[in-house]
Each structure stands twice: as C-alpha cells, then as structure tokens.
Amino acid sequence: MSIKTIILAAGQGTRMRSSRPKVLHEIANKALLQHVYETSLALTDNTIFVVYGHGGEVVKQTLANLNVSWIEQKQQLGTGHAVQQAINYIENTDTVLILYGDVPLLKAQTLQNLLTLVSETSIALLTVELDDPTGYGRIVRDKNHAVLKIVEQKDANESELVIKEGNTGILALNGQRLKQWLARLSNNNAQNEYYLTDIIEMAVADGLIVNTTQALSQDEVLGVNNRSQLAHLERVYQLEQAENLMRLGVTLRDPQRIDVRGEFIELGQDIEVDVNVIFEGSNRIASHVKIGANCIIKNANIAEYVEILPNSIIDDASIGAYSRIGPFARLRPETTLAEHVHIGNFVEIKKSTVATGSKINHLSYIGDSEVGSKVNIGAGTITCNYDGVNKFKTVIGDGAFIGSDSQLVAPVVIGKNATIGAGSTITKDTPAEQLTLSRVKQVSVANWQRPQKQEK
Ligand code: UD1
Ligand code: CA
C-alpha cells in the first residue's frame, strides 16, 4: 500500500496570540509539526506532504530538515480546500492519510490501526468520544450505527449537537475516490468553507462504508489552539516520558516533576533522578547514576556510578565513572572528566579535560585546560585563559597541588607534582616536584595604630 500523508498546517492559530505560526510552537523543545512528522515516519512506503499557509515561509525554513514536500495554500478556505492543494501529487491507487499539524501526540500505533480499515470501498475515520464535544464536527450515524455524515458544530441542528462522538479530522481513504469527491465540494455552509468532512456523506451516497476507530487515549487526538492546551499536552507528553523511564528501570522521585526534551541514546538501570531535573538533547546515562534535584542535563555522557548533586548544569560534557559533581557545579561544552573526579560547588569547567582522581572542589574556573591525574585544585583557583581576544591553554601535570586562590595565567604549564603556594599569580611555567609561589612578602608593623573615631 502506497501512502501519501498530507499534514494540514495552514491554519492561522489566532488564539495562540503569537507572532510564531502555531505549528512551530513546541512540546518538549520540538515543533508541533515535527511531532506529527516523526510519527508518520513510522509508516512504511509513505510520502509526506505539508500544506502550509499563514507565515509558512518561516515554517519551511525552521523545519527545512524534514523530508517532506511543501505545498502552499495561499488562502485558508477550509480543510477541503487545503487537501485540494495536494491533489496533483496523488495517484489513483494511493492511500491518502490526512493528519493535522497541530495534533502532536497521535501515536503511530493508532495510525496503523486506522490504516487496516481503509480500502477502495471503505473510508477509515478516527473519531473521539467526548464529554463536551463543543467545536467538533459530529459523527452522525443511522439506527444500525453506520456512519452517514459529519456535521460541523456551526451547521448542526439540536439533535446533532447532543452527539458526543466527534470527528478528529484524521482519516484515510483511496486516492481516486478522494479526487472525485474533492472536485465536488462546495462552500455552501455556515462558515463558507470547503469542508473536507463533506466527503463522508458523498462516500456513503457512492456506496462506501465508513469504518471508524478511536485512539487509546483522548490526549492523542487533542489539538493545540491556545497556550493552555499546549501546556496540557506538554504535561501529557512528559508524564509519558516519565512512565517510559520507569519502565526501563529508572527511579523517579516524582514522575510529575521531570522534563525530557530530547532522547536517551543509552540508558542504564538503577538510575535515580530526584525532582525537577530537565534532560535536553541526546543523553547517555549509564547504570547506577544518581542525579540530584534541579539539575539540567544536556547532551551529556555520564558513566556508571556518577553522582550529580543538586542544582548542577551539565552541558555537552562527558563524566567518567564514580565521579561526583556539584552541588551547584557547571560543566560547559567540551569538558571531559575521567573516572573518580570530584567537582564541587561553584566550580565552572569549560573545554577542559580532567584526568583520573583529580579534585576541584570549591569556587573555581577552569577553562581551556588539561588537568592531569590526582591533581588537587584549591578553592578559588582561576585559569586566566583569555586576554580579551585570544584564548590560551593551561596544562597541569599529574599530582600537582594548586594552593587556594591562585591565578594561572595561560599559556602556562604546571609541572608534575608541582606545588603552587596559595594566593599565587603564576605567569611562567613551573617546574615539576617543586614549590612555586609568587606572593608579596608578609610584613607586620609593630607600632601601627588603627585610626580612632573622635568622641563628640
Ligand atoms: C476540523 C473539522 C472538524 C473536527 C475538527 C477537529 C472540518 C471542516 N472540520 O474543524 O470536523 O472535529 O477539525 O479538530 O474539517 N487547515 C488548513 N487550511 C485551511 C483550514 C484548516 O490547513 O484552510 C488546517 C489547520 O491548520 C488545522 C486543521 O486544518 O491543522 C483543522 O483546521 P481547523 O480550523 O482547526 O478545523 P476545525 O474548524 O477545528
Ligand atoms: Ca481545530
């Protein structure tokens, strides 16, 4: 079965009150339209079209990486008119699948179920049972429960308005039939629009059967029309991610308070995640990793038994096994830590490697550096890597001990097992095994008197 999927995405989305086209609003950092696209990728022998309109150039540019054909609908004259724009791309033998770009959480399984119900003599229609069907087209059935037609809310009479079965807008049908019916659509209705839904009545008149099915959950077919619905679907999506993680063996202290905006390339077992942790991009997390509250973990590679304490930010960094990071640590891009490394509070590391067993425990900035193994970097140590124009490298040999509050002015090399006295400003390479310090000699003034306030 050759499938042509047409994703309708030309609507204005006025109720978003946004300068951004609606389908570019995001769930989990991914555009609504991209969610729909990725779901339809699960179907085999499928060619995807997107009908765009209002602000469409931005949509095309932003999502240029999607493997779809873009079709412009210059004026939004209705869902039927939108599908008409794609008509030249449809072969008679195709199965055409209609999706909405603003219904992001639809599952591939639901589409696969729907596609089992379509043939040359039957239409497959996805419907939804709603407590409050306001705004939806109603599915009108005869006394034998066969579908007769869809009536839009604004065209419905009183007996039709009480119908609780709504049209999701998602359907699949034969290409040749679709082309015939589209040619016959009129806009003679309450909204003066070309309704795609009118083809249902035509199909029934032509002797076709309308098969219906429903999604597993209502949230799958909910559309986004305003920011409140967007927020609702974000939560639905996140809870699904949380359930999935728990199924895979991750402990979540509170599945309601975790956000996954991206994917896990690798995920071990017995990972523990405390509240308010955000995962972004592509993460690899090995077994027995513990992540404390309020951490942001982005494009990270975290080996087993790593412990990340609360309020830490890991951004494009790799952390070796048994290392301990934070609380309040920040690892910036191109940071690679080996095993058993300790990074403590208020330490920022950028574009640096730190070898096995080294400790940078308090209030430091380490940038553009190569730190050896078993190095101890004292509190307040700063690598001065930047002269305002160029960046320079700091190399710290194995076993070096950097006294607190030192500045290492790059480019500079600290020798193996070198000791740097506290408070030093190091501007030249220091020899291995020796103590180096640069410090003004301490003096005491014996008869000095502190100024005194005069009594008035
Ligand atoms: C449509 C259905 C209704 C269904 C409801 C489900 C019709 C006539 N009505 O109504 O039965 O219950 O969806 O949400 O089909 N679009 C275009 N071009 C247009 C008009 C719409 O691309 O000219 C796109 C929109 O971007 C959106 C989708 O089609 O993704 C649905 O349009 P919308 O205006 O939301 O349709 P409803 O009136 O809600
Ligand atoms: Ca809608």
Written as one string, the DSSP assignment of 89-154 is: G--TTPEEEEEETT-TT--HHHHHHHHTT-BTTEEEEEEEE-SS-TTSPEEEE-TT--EEEEE-GG
| d(C-alpha 214, C-alpha 99), whole Å | 15
Burial code of 114-127, b = ≥16 C-beta within 10 A, e = fewer?
bbebbbeebbbbbb
Strand partners, 370: 353, 395
Q: How far is the CA of 57 from the centre of ligand 1 (A)?
A: 20
Ligand 1 atom nearest the C-alpha of 53 is 22
H and E: helices and strands count for the chain: 8, 39
Nearest to residue 191, comparing CAs of 101, 81, 73?
81
> What is the number of the ligand 1 atom nearest to the C-alpha of 225?
35
Through-space distance between the first and last CA atoms of the chain, rounded to whole angstroms: 100
Alpha-carbon distance of 105 to 146, in angstroms, equals 28
Residue nearest to atom 35 of ligand 1 (CA): 11
For residue 158, give the H/E element and its range. helix 158-161
The CA 199 to ligand 1 mean position distance, Å, reads 14
Closest CA to 365 of 350, 345, 386, 387: 350
d(CA 65, ligand 2 centre) in Å: 26
| Ligand located closest to 82 CA | 1
The two three-digit tokens of residue 386, written as one number: 């930047």
Nearest ligand 1 atom to alpha carbon 152: 11
**Closest residue CA from atom 26 of ligand 1:** 11
Q: Can 340 be counted among the known catalytic residues? A: no
Beta-carbon neighbour count of residue 144 at 10 Å? 5
At 211 the pLDDT is 98
Closest atom of ligand 1 to CA, residue 198: 8
| Ligand 1 atom at shortest distance from the alpha carbon of 10 | 22
This prediction's pTM: 0.94
Residue 12 has what pLDDT? 82
CA of 226 to the centre of ligand 2 (A): 10
Cα 196 to ligand 1 centroid, rounded to whole Å: 9
> Which residue, by CA, sits nearest to atom 30 of ligand 1?
100
Mutate to test the pocket of ligand 1, among 79, 154, 196, 210 (most ligand atoms within 8 A of CB): 79
Residue minimizing CA distance to atom 11 of ligand 1:
137
What atom in ligand 1 is closest to the CA of residue 100?
30
Q: What are phi and psi of 221, to 5 degrees?
A: -110, 5
Which residues form the pocket of ligand 1, taking CB atoms under 6 Å from any ligand atom? Answer: 8-11, 51, 73, 76-79, 81-82, 100-102, 136-137, 150, 152, 166-169, 195-197, 223
Q: Which ligand is nearest to the CA of 153?
A: 1
Q: Can you list the domains of the chain with their CATH numbers?
A: 3-221 (3.90.550.10), 227-436 (2.160.10.10)
Long-range contacts at 414-420 (CB < 8 A, ≥ 24 apart): 416/372
What per-residue confidence (pLDDT) applies to 55? Answer: 74
Nearest residue (by CA) to ligand 1, atom 33, is 11
Report CA(234)–ligand 2 centroid distance (Å): 17
Neighbours of 59 (CB within 10 A): 25
Q: How many residues does the chain have?
A: 456
Residues whose CB is less than 8 angstroms from the CB of residue 247 and which lie 6 or more positions away in sequence, other chains included: none
pLDDT of residue 82: 98
Give distance in angstroms: CA of 100 to centre of ligand 2: 9
- The DSSP element (H or E) to which 180 belongs, if any, is helix 175-183
Q: Which-ligand-closest: CA of 156?
A: 1
Nearest ligand 1 atom, CA 12:
26
Give the 3-state secondary structure of residue 348.
strand
Of all protein residues, whose CA lies closest to atom 6 belonging to ligand 1?
168
List the catalytic residue out of 54, 232, 288, 362. Answer: 362
Q: Which ligand is nearest to the CA of 36?
A: 1
Q: Looking at ligand 1, which residue's alpha carbon is closest to its atom 25?
A: 11
Q: What pLDDT sits at residue 456?
A: 82
pLDDT at 292: 98
- The residue nearest atom 1 of ligand 1, judged by CA position, is 169
* Burial class, 278, CB count within 10 angstroms (exposed 0-12 / middle 13-18 / buried 19+): middle
Distance 223 CA to ligand 2 centre (A): 6
pLDDT along the chain (456 residues), means of 10: 96 91 97 98 98 89 97 96 97 98 98 98 98 96 98 98 98 98 97 98 98 97 97 98 98 98 98 98 98 98 98 98 98 98 98 98 98 98 95 98 98 98 97 96 94 89
Find the ligand nearest to 134 CA.
1
